[in-house]
Structure 1
Amino acid sequence: MTTKPDIPPGTTHGEFWDTFYSAEDRVWSGRPNAALVREVTGLTPGRALDLGCGEGADAIWLARQGWRVTAVDVSQVALDRGRGHAASEGVGDRIEWQPHDLSVSFPAGTFDLVSTYFLHSWLELPRERILRGAAGAVAPGGVLLITGHAGFPSWVADPDPDFHFPTPEEVLAGLDLAEGEWEVLVSEVHEEKMTDPEGKPATRVDNTVKVRRR
């Protein structure tokens, strides 16, 4: 999350994110999220659901590790870009790309891994309901992995004081997991090192929740 952009009234999630991705040929680094690599390495590959996949770096990494991936995003621009990247990396046949506005529709099926990264938006978003849907899509023995921002990155000089980033404890409470059916594996805040838009060293504080369905 960065400084709040000007958003015309009535803008849909799809319109907003299509505009966002259309502004540049490539928005993100093309590298998988560090928390994904850290938390998924060592898991037995199976079926994975990547919610809010963006340009597909996480989905492509998962496919390289042997996972069959359903990659979901509201932006068709991002999905088309991800599909192209996956094909060029030789894993296009391991990823299914699905358009969903998660506030309206959700992919069918159950998965051995459901992961979502930075499910934040300047538009109104029923985040807790979406994450409960994500938990419902986890197969027995499977893992739900949620990473979100714990604050604005270090280069944002004038962060919006009214924007709330949920804590790990709030994420777990919002999931409303059935007692005795889930094991909490990770619930933590961590700092990630990166570069700012000018290429200078920067930091960002995130949080990760990882739970396994028994």
Structure 2
Amino acid sequence: MCDFLKRWPMGDLSSAAEAAMNFETRWQQYYQAVEGRPPRTTLTRALDSIARDPNPLPRFAVDLGCGNGRDTVELLRRGWRVLAIDGDPEAIARLRQRDDCDRTYLETRVQRFENLTLPPAVSLINASFCLPFCLPQHFAYLWEEIVVALSPGGRFCGQLFGDQDSWAAYADLTHHSRIEINQLLEPFTVEWLEEENHPGKTALGEDKHWHIFHIVAQKQ
């Protein structure tokens, strides 16, 4: 899963199961809406930090929830070897078909969060607006997989949703309080942590209240 998707109540919802709305039909609209956008600020901040490292790690990154590749393409452009993972086959197809995607050092995989396996010794794990779409019962496993896969000195960059976000009403999304965010980041040295909490819109133009944590952190 990746990034901003349309998940908004349609009338009265009588159960948590009904609240788990089917947004799969909106993927193509979403990809069209974000086409041509630049890489995420969390990624560029992480790459800038890596560029200042006196003893940099090998340039091997995993782009989780890569979508149509806005971050993957930037990593490849900067000479990284990238494993791009998404649960939607259409996303991987769009990434591989991009004119600006040099596939020389690109590996792709269609895999969902609940059965995610990551290679060892990863230098950078990028997860732009995708981790909240992990089912809550699988999030602890997913986060452990991320922490274990990173080499000491490797970095995580991406977003997590806060508990005041509008989508916290959905039982199949994962949200965190500020205290929980701090606990998740205990294995890391936090280099950038910015909290947004305000009304806004989705990529498809719908009104929504966003509560987002933007994170760049280095594994200790």
Structure 1-normalised TM-score?
0.72
Equivalence for 1:3? 8
CA distance in 1, matches of 2:210, 2:151: 32
Q: Secondary structure at the match of 1:185?
A: strand
Aligned CA distance change for structure 1 residues 149 and 40 (closer, same or farther; 3 Å): farther
CA distance in 1, matches of 2:45, 2:211: 16
Aligned CA distance change for structure 1 residues 127 and 38 (closer, same or farther; 3 Å): same
CA distance in 2, matches of 1:196, 1:138: 31
Aligned CA distance change for structure 1 residues 140 and 24 (closer, same or farther; 3 Å): closer
CA distance in 2, matches of 1:83, 1:144: 24
Shift of 1:68: 1.1
Equivalence for 1:89? 100
Structure 2-normalised TM-score?
0.70
Shift of 1:144: 1.5
1:93 is matched by which residue type in structure 2?
T
Q: Secondary structure at the match of 2:133?
A: coil
Equivalence for 2:115? 104
CA distance in 2, matches of 1:198, 1:213: 35
Q: Secondary structure at the match of 2:169?
A: coil
From the two aligned structures, give the one with the greater helix fraction.
2
Residue pair 2:34, 2:203 contacting (<8 A) in 1 also? no
Taking only the aligned residue pairs, the percentage that are identical comes to 21
The within-5 A match list for 1:27-66 is 27-31=33-37, 32-44=39-51, 46-66=59-79
RMSD of aligned residue pairs (Cα, Å): 3.6
2:122 is matched by which residue type in structure 1?
F
CA distance in 1, matches of 2:203, 2:100: 26
CA distance in 1, matches of 2:111, 2:83: 11
Shift of 1:114: 0.9
Residue pair 1:71, 1:95 contacting (<8 A) in 2 also? yes
- Indicate which of 47, 70, 82 corresponds to 1:69: 82
Aligned CA distance change for structure 1 residues 132 and 4 (closer, same or farther; 3 Å): farther
Shift of 1:191: 7.0
CA distance in 1, matches of 2:32, 2:127: 20
The yes-or-no answer on 1:166 pairing with 2:176 is yes
Equivalence for 1:144? 156
Number of positions where the alignment pairs a residue of Structure 1 with one of Structure 2: 195
Q: Secondary structure at the match of 1:212?
A: strand
Shift of 1:170: 1.3
- 1:30-87 Cα offsets, whole Å, 9 max, x none, are 32222222332242471111111111111111111221111101111111111111xx
Q: Secondary structure at the match of 2:124?
A: strand
Aligned CA distance change for structure 1 residues 188 and 82 (closer, same or farther; 3 Å): same
Q: Secondary structure at the match of 2:83?
A: strand
Equivalence for 1:13? none
Q: Secondary structure at the match of 1:41?
A: helix
CA distance in 2, matches of 1:189, 1:62: 25
Residue pair 1:172, 1:209 contacting (<8 A) in 2 also? no
CA distance in 2, matches of 1:101, 1:189: 27
Residue pair 2:68, 2:92 contacting (<8 A) in 1 also? yes
Residue pair 2:33, 2:203 contacting (<8 A) in 1 also? no
- 1:166-191 Cα offsets, whole Å, 9 max, x none, are 245413424663xxxx4232333147
